[in-house]
Structure 1
Amino acid sequence: MNQQQIKIGISSCVLGERVRFDSGHKISKFVTKELSPYFEFISVCPEVGAGMPVPRPTIRLMSNEDRIELVETKDVTKEHTQAVVDYSKSKIAQLEQELLCGYIVCAKSPTCGMERVKVYRKDGATNVGVGLYTKELMTQMPWLPVEEDGRLNDPLLKENFITRVYTLKDFYSSMGEAPTRGKIVAFHSRYKLTLMAHHPSSYKQLGKLVANVKDYDIDDFYRLYREGLMKAMAHRASRKNNTNVLMHLQGYFKRELDKQQKQELRQVIDDYRVGLLPLLAPLTLIKHYLTAHPDAYLAEQAFLQPYPQELRLRYGL
């Protein structure tokens, strides 16, 4: 997989571009230093794209009866709602053709915030809004992994987002020029353990869906499977689910390992289960046994290495 082809949309200010209302930025060192070797960023600033200048008056979301408006803070009669919505629809339609694999948005922004954006009312403000651009993004591309810059400081949220990005990239790469039933069945086979770890009920639902792939138009099925896959992956893999998958993996070695090796693997999995060891510990041992006792099905499971190990995301899980 060519990592530089992994396209990620991003709020321009998070990349360090000086496009904010005060000509400043909100650069993320995690993004620019740790992620930039792996991703090709596509920078978007909805305010600038909609024609607003830099610097510019501050803006906010305001609730006006059943409508959310984007207005200037000091003069609410100056509204930018339609300009931003029109730009958002056009830009996102363009981005959909790019096969984006993820999007990093600027937290709390009235255009880009993903959650808890302030919405002002006559009697105060509530933290219930979504930025106008990001709302359109998640409506038009519901399968796309979207995360806020600040939330990527949380190791669990960060690992889940990166896993989703690489899953979607792998899906697109596996489909090649055009999806086929065979390609989707092969992809699903490689992601069975991953889905078991993230959301067991979705694993069962997607399994039933794939079993009936012949009953669908392939393009309809492609869209249906993609959305179900990414919805499942949005659930963070829990320690309990990961432990179940590890025990499932353990079963593949019951004939190959001697008594001492079996005991060692059981102990490492149990130490992970109770929080004494990170997920990396049992996975490293399983990979070691897989090298000594090859198994074609296990070797291709994405669960064993969902993204480049150089990202070091499983050390703290």
Structure 2
Amino acid sequence: MFRILSVVFVTGLVSIANAQLCTKWSAPQKLGLLDTKMLKEVSGLTVSKQFPDRIYHHNDSKDLGAFYITDLLGGHTQEVLFTSEKVVDIEDVSMGPCDVGQCLFLGDIGDNKKNRKTLDLWILPETETFQDIAATAKKVTFQYPDGPHNAESMAVHPKTGDVYILTKEADEEGERRSYAGKLYRLSRSAFGLKDSTLQFVGTIDLPWLNYNYGLFGGMATGMDISPDGQNLLIASYENFMEISMNKIMNEVPNSRSWKRNQDYRVIDLRDFLSQLEAVGYSPDGNSFYFESEFNPEDGGDKESPLFRMDCLERKP
């Protein structure tokens, strides 16, 4: 069972009712340390909207078909196995609406070698104990319309239930540069099809928007959509970017025309963590949680802390 904490957020947090981008974020607050014996290579997180004091996490590639539950401080870790089938590379997790209420969506979307013909989305009904989860887990197989891509960022729209995937486009060894990510959508209506094809939405040119960052500031490593469906939060290795969903839902994204501090805002975290790959909004949308992949062997982070940042101000 999980402890129920009375979590008190920073005084002065503002409402998301006006759907404006946050203009002032608090400094990162370290909440606790993840259990790296279980979360050895954490790569995604999402916060429960139904159950207080609960965050879902998952490990990176070559793990079991499992996810992990902690409290809001990253403690009391429990492992939940949802399938005995092989999973290839789960890269992100999101909460979203489904036929039985709220579901956990796990995106098996990693493809570093860009040779996977199809990818998988696991949809798991959210319950208090997740008993018999393997019997209720649903796998949706899909493909890109233009050939394989590598991706680490996925989010479910909290109103429509559609799934969005943003690709990670980079040449990390040759030219050492990143490229505009491609945004795709999997409609909720396609979940029942035997084989589904993603719909191309447009490009989000992180290298252009993050013009004063290097290679690692131009690669999308995780994302989430705010609970009101109005804002998109994208993580890179060096920062977060919050974008108005109006620029995505109501038009074909042309990110090079977006105005900084109006259509999107950058939250700088350069040199803060070595492998930032997991981010998720709080249920009220006034905060977000994030964590870094535990990677001491390769000179990366020697522990896996859980952080939260709070929105202190929203201005038109």
TM-score, L = length of structure 1: 0.25
- Larger Rg: 1 or 2? 1
TM-score (norm 2): 0.25
Greater fraction of residues in helix: 1
